[in-house]
Amino acid sequence: MRKMTALFSAALLTAGMISAPVMAQDSSAQQQDPAAQQSQATAQDFSDEQLQQFADTSEEIAMISQEYTQRLQEAGDDQAKQQEIRMEANEEMVAVVEDSGLDVETFNAIGQAIQQDPELMKRVQQMAQNGQ
């Protein structure tokens, strides 16, 4: 059950900390319609190995997210401190994703796809449970 929660958290992160800075660096992604990006993510086929890597990485990403969410709350209204914390969290999450064997773009695409495809979400959840 913990892995499923972590998986869902990681999927939600694709729209949060990791994707925002990465998307900002990708000028071609900025020029595309967001709906077109989403349909590309759901239409893309991912290998079982990529899905397993996503499932395995999700729990660690969720733990990092929890840690940094708490630090953001502790920073209060200090915008500079919040930005510093976000950048640190992003760097740590990117490192975890890259260490898993995935690139950030693929990790984000899988996260977006599982948010839109209940069958893919079930498949990745099963992989997360079996990977324990």
pLDDT digits (tens, 9 = 90+) for 22-38: 433 443 444 444 444 44
The full DSSP string for 75-98 is: HTT-HHHHHHHHHHHHHHHHHHHH
Residue 56 has pLDDT above 60, yes or no: yes
The model's confidence at residue 49, banded by pLDDT at 50, 70 and 90, is: very high
- What value does the CA radius of gyration of the chain take, rounded to a whole number of Å? 15
Entry pTM: 0.68
What kind and span of H or E run contains 125? helix 118-130
Q: How many helices (H) and strands (E) does the chain have?
A: 8, 0
The model's confidence at residue 107, banded by pLDDT at 50, 70 and 90, is: very high
Residue 80 has pLDDT above 90, yes or no: yes
Choice between 33 and 80, residue whose per-residue pLDDT is larger: 80
Residues 6+ apart with CB under 8 A from 113: 41, 42, 44, 46, 120
Percentages (nearest 5) of helix, strand, coil residues in the chain: 85, 0, 15
Mean pLDDT of 48-74: 93
* Average pLDDT of the chain, as a whole number: 77
The model's confidence at residue 128, banded by pLDDT at 50, 70 and 90, is: confident
* Cα 12 versus chain centre, distance: 7
Residues 6+ apart with CB under 8 A from 55: 3, 7, 124, 125, 127, 128, 131
